[in-house]
Chains A and B, each alone.
Chain A
């Protein structure tokens, strides 16, 4: 029992420690693709370190929401990391607390507070970003729903640990159309929710074009560090769900010993870095969509997810 709690905390630690690294690697790779050298992959750690040591300035006109939000944004992905398979292929101590839908709600809670906080300060750019995030969010919501419903339809469960077994037993299931189409739909969702390029430019500095970034414009010091770190962890957790549950449920620790679980860390990181390569390829080869074209992008994701459902029904 204690062992399982420890492993669970180890999962959280992995997410906390390596989330900035994933962000750093992504940024560096993108710079390299653009024929630049780019910052070190450890730059996000230095940024966080620097921000934690800076003074925090909070607007006098803001309410408690503004002060409270960074903690929620920071904690939400940690909660999710307790629920999902980050390192092990068997459920750990806290996994009983929620399924994939539960995880989705917890992540959405963080997003909800970030949106409120953006409106709270009356900075003109915050509400712009907030309303845009909501637009992306409510367009992505039905896709999330269909994806989860299809998953539960195929696997008979929304518990990630059951789902991941379903895709590889037998191996032919991996090629089932519902699986491949779900993966495609979820990939589009990750791009939308993670604020990646066809939907949003994470490295953009032009406030009027921002979607995700403008919500944390008013933050400074420790609050900003928490927002940033939380955002990186959220993306890392999404990647874990995507890779460990949906796409490649291999490389997770099946054994109960500490060695097995520690060995899973580099394997999972390897998968994530491989995916980052794909992500960098996508981001470098596409242009950011105009705001009202985002509806079409997510419409495509919706169609893909429904096609997954239809294909599943058609076979049966």
Chain B
């Protein structure tokens, strides 16, 4: 592989990772539930692209496998499964107010992403010199932003997407530092993601039927004190 091609592949991979970061920010802030799903699909496609590009770079069949598994499960099966399992109102929901307002949430997300840099760079360095690249820090950022999404969102679909985005983030780092993980494990993890979608979808449907809302983050009746006395954060 010539130096120029290698450089191009690395830059394209970095581009996929950079756009990945952008989608992670988008998932934190996007109001429309359907928009969140679209961003997640875009993120998964970028993850697949990064896996394929790294496969090209390391000449690794495993990574092509990861790319294909990602292409099949996340953009195709996840929306289909959600369509089958989840209540119909899930997609059309808009989240009028989040726990934090959007600019504040984005600023905190930004701080997390910058924090990910300080975690990720030494980590990538410790793995080895050929593992330099934006995958590890941006993967960590994706992980943290996914977790952050879980804390600021209330609507069911964005919360589910936050969970899946965390996994995407872990994977984005994983395809670089653990690129020869066994294919069996990769497949099992992909299947696991689908089971998550299924179970959460069933749960959300039950909530929508029983409680009448898909804003599951607003459920907060389980607390230590009887209702009426404020118990800040006791049930969170």
Chain A residues close to B by CB (< 8 Å): 170-173, 175-178, 180-181, 184, 295-296, 299-300, 302-304, 306-308, 310-311, 313-315
Contact = CB atoms under 8 A, between A and B. Distances in A.
Given A303-B25, A310-B114, A177 B15 contact: yes
A307 B7 contact: no
Nearest to B121: A314
Contacts of B22: 181, 184, 303-304, 307
A299 B133 contact: no
Interface of B, helix, strand, loop or mixed by DSSP: helix
29 contacts: A171-B8, A172-B8, A172-B11, A173-B11, A175-B12, A175-B14, A177-B18, A177-B134, A180-B19, A184-B22, A295-B103, A296-B102, A299-B103, A299-B106, A300-B25, A300-B26, A303-B106, A303-B109, A303-B110, A307-B21, A307-B22, A307-B25, A307-B113, A311-B17, A314-B14, A314-B117, A314-B120, A314-B134, A314-B138
Contacts of A295: 103
A252 B181 CA distance: 49
Contacts of A299: 29, 102-103, 106
B14 A177 contact: yes
B18 A181 contact: yes
Given A307-B21, A314-B17, 15 more contacts: A171-B8, A175-B14, A176-B11, A176-B14, A295-B103, A296-B29, A299-B102, A303-B22, A304-B22, A310-B113, A311-B17, A311-B18, A314-B121, A315-B132, A315-B134
A196 to B, nearest CB: 21
Contacts of B17: 177, 311, 314
B110 A306 contact: yes
Contacts of B29: 296, 299-300, 303
Contacts of A303: 22, 25, 29, 106, 109-110
A248 to B, nearest CB: 17
Which 5 pairs from chain A and chain B are nearest by CB?
A177-B18, A311-B18, A314-B134, A172-B8, A172-B7
Nearest to A308: B18
Interface string B16-39: 011101100110010000000000
Contacts of A314: 14, 17, 117, 120-121, 134, 137-138
Question: Which residue of B17, B18, B102 has the most chain A CB atoms within 10 A of its CB atom?
Answer: B18
Contacts of A175: 8, 11-12, 14-15
B11 A311 contact: no
Nearest to A173: B11
Contacts of B141: 310
Nearest to A310: B113
B7 A170 contact: yes
B117 A310 contact: yes
A310 B21 contact: yes
A43 B117 CA distance: 53
A311 B25 contact: no
A315 B137 CA distance: 9
Contacts of B188: none
A316 to B, nearest CB: 9
Contacts of A308: 18
Contact of B18 (A170, A173, A302, A307): A307
Contacts of B1: none
Question: Which residue of A172, A295, A303, A314 has the most chain B CB atoms within 10 A of its CB atom?
Answer: A314
Interface string B42-75: 0000000000000000000000000000000000
A306 B110 CA distance: 8
B18 to A, nearest CB: 3
A311 B109 CA distance: 15
Contacts of A171: 8
A296 B29 CA distance: 9
